[in-house]
Amino acid sequence: MGRMSNRDRIAKMQEEAAATEREREAKAKTARKEPKAKKGAPVAPVGRMKIVWAVCAVNGSIVKTFPYPQKAAAEAEVARLSEQAPHHLRAEKVPLDD
């Protein structure tokens, strides 16, 4: 076995480091790019909403609506309609009429 001088050892280490750097660069060039995240469906802008009182039948269908400040009138309507069949009162969001 031949002995290597310091200069030879340093030169060999530099060559190995350069070779590994070239390999790393080659891998980086051929590496796949990560797929971009898919965007969800665009959300339609929701206009301004208001709350109304909805008088509903047993099946959930809306029978009549009242403006929010008229809760007493809506409750009276529920009481009147409940004599024939059960009805209930529900707060609903509806688009604001401009």
pLDDT in tens, 44-91: 777 889 999 999 999 989 999 999 999 999 999 999 999 999 999 999
The answer as to whether 86 is a domain residue is yes
Beta-carbon contacts of 51 under 8 Å, excluding residues fewer than 6 positions away, are: 68, 91, 92, 93, 94
92 pLDDT more than 90: yes
Is this structure's pTM higher than 0.75?
no
Backbone dihedral angles phi then psi of residue 72, each to the nearest 5 degrees: -60, -40
Q: Is the predicted pLDDT of residue 34 greater than 80, yes or no?
A: no
Number of domains composing the chain = 1
Instruction: Report the distance separating Cα 10 and Cα 50, nearest Å.
Output: 79
Task: Please check whether residue 77 lies inside any domain of the structure.
Answer: yes
Is residue 4 situated within a structural domain? Answer: no
Tell me the mean pLDDT in the region 24-50.
77
Cβ pair 68, 41 in contact under 8 A: no
Range of the domain at 58: 49-95
Residue 29 has pLDDT above 80, yes or no: no
5-9 own/partner pairs: CB under 8 Å, 24+ apart:
none
Residue 36 lies in a domain: no
